[in-house]
Amino acid sequence: MTLTGKRAFITGGGTGVGAALARSFAAAGAEVVICGRSEAPLRAVAEPLGARWVLCDVTQEAEVKRAFAEAGPCDIVIANAGSSDSAPLHRTTLEQWNAMLAVNLTGVFLTFREAIQQLPGWGRLIAVASTAGLKGYGYVAPYAAAKHGTVGLVRSLALEVATRPVTVNALCPGFLDTEMTERSVANISAKTGKSAEEAKAVLAAMNPQKRLIQPQEVAAAALWLCADGSEGINGQALAIAGGEV
């Protein structure tokens, strides 16, 4: 496939899935613009690709507006920025709750709201959600609530744009082989005394294929949603989890 002539805007593009998305879309010929909160990782991803980068905290309305203004009209917008935290619900502070909703749900809302206003015509809006948007997991209730909210947002917006050449979908990977999962592994190790290898095996065991999902698998699914023949895929939450859900 080729995305020559298309501009792709990817939030959280400096690490993990965002970096894999940037590389895959650039390889497919798209002009890529990535955003995030830290300059160094954005530069490290963007410069070898000939891509552009902009600093942006997706929880801040003014910053999202500025980032889109700097990027210019975008055909493909991928709301990938996210963060995770874990604690039993009775120990979860309001600050933790608000932080999870801000980056994982409000950030998608602000990104998509700006995206839908500047789409030049044909468009693809994709949220990187999680299997936590399709099922529950213990000790991550705020994260799961935010990801469930993202899936609801996607399904609703998909209906609003259904008569246009625009689709809106969510990708819901299971535990990924990324920096975010490494932090989860460290958290499990600290709380249980398990080694990093044992903690990672606990997460991998949730996948019926007994493995972590690779970032490139999410990027491949995103490319498919932008390819010819995907026009009827709208308002869907696609699990990339080896059959977990």
Mean pLDDT value of segment 10-21: 97
Residue 244 domain flag: no
Above 80 in pLDDT, residue 188?
A: no
Average confidence (pLDDT) over 103-117: 98
Domain that holds residue 188: 175-212
Residue 181 has pLDDT above 80, yes or no: no
Q: Are residues 189 and 71 in the same domain?
A: no
Residue 231 included in any domain = yes
- Give the Cα separation of 83 and 157 in Å (integer): 23
The residue to which tokens 């010929």 are assigned: 29
Q: What is the rounded end-to-end Cα distance, in angstroms, of the chain?
A: 29
The band of 127, judged by pLDDT with boundaries at 50, 70 and 90, is: very high
How many residues are given for the chain? 245
- 185 pLDDT more than 80: no
When pLDDT is averaged across residues 105-128 and rounded to a whole number, the result is 97
The count of structural domains within the chain is 2
Question: Is residue 66 included in any domain, yes or no?
Answer: yes
Query: Does 174 or 120 have the greater pLDDT score?
Result: 174
Q: Are residues 183 and 230 in the same domain?
A: no
Confidence bin at 1 (pLDDT 50/70/90): confident
Same domain, 111 and 186: no
Residue 109 lies in a domain: yes
- Ranges of H-type helices in 55-195: 61-71, 94-101, 107-118, 141-160, 179-192
Q: Is it the case that residue 241 has pLDDT exceeding 80?
A: yes
pLDDT at 193: 85
| The predicted structure's pLDDT at residue 48 | 98
Q: Within this chain, do residues 82 and 69 fall inside the same structural domain, yes or no?
A: yes
Q: How confident is the model at residue 184 (pLDDT cuts 50, 70, 90)?
A: confident
Structural contact between residues 35 and 68, judged by C-beta atoms closer than 8 angstroms: no
Mean pLDDT of the chain: 95
Instruction: Give yes or no for residue 3 having a pLDDT over 80.
Output: yes
pLDDT for position 186:
77
Collapsing DSSP states into helix, strand and coil, what is residue 222?
Answer: helix
Task: Verify that 71 and 181 share a domain, yes or no.
Answer: no
Residue 243 within a domain: no
Is 118 in the same domain as 86?
A: yes
Asked whether residue 183 is assigned to any structural domain, the reply reads yes
Determine the pLDDT at residue 137. Answer: 94
Whether pLDDT at 41 is above 90: yes
3-state SS, residue 28:
coil
pLDDT digits (tens, 9 = 90+) for 209-233: 999 999 999 999 999 999 999 999 9
Give yes or no: 139 in active site: no
- The CATH number of the domain where 73 resides is what? 3.40.50.720
Catalytic residue among 143, 158, 203, 238: 143
SS3 17: helix
What's the confidence (pLDDT) of residue 187? 75
Question: Cα(83)–Cα(61) distance, rounded to whole angstroms?
Answer: 18
Q: Is it the case that residue 99 has pLDDT exceeding 90?
A: yes
Which pLDDT score, from 0 to 100, does residue 77 have? 98
pLDDT of 24: 98
Same domain, 15 and 125: yes
Q: Is the pLDDT of residue 191 over 90?
A: no
* 208 found inside a domain: yes
Q: pTM for this one?
A: 0.95
For residue range 76-95, what is the model confidence (pLDDT) as tens digits?
Answer: 999 999 999 889 999 999 99
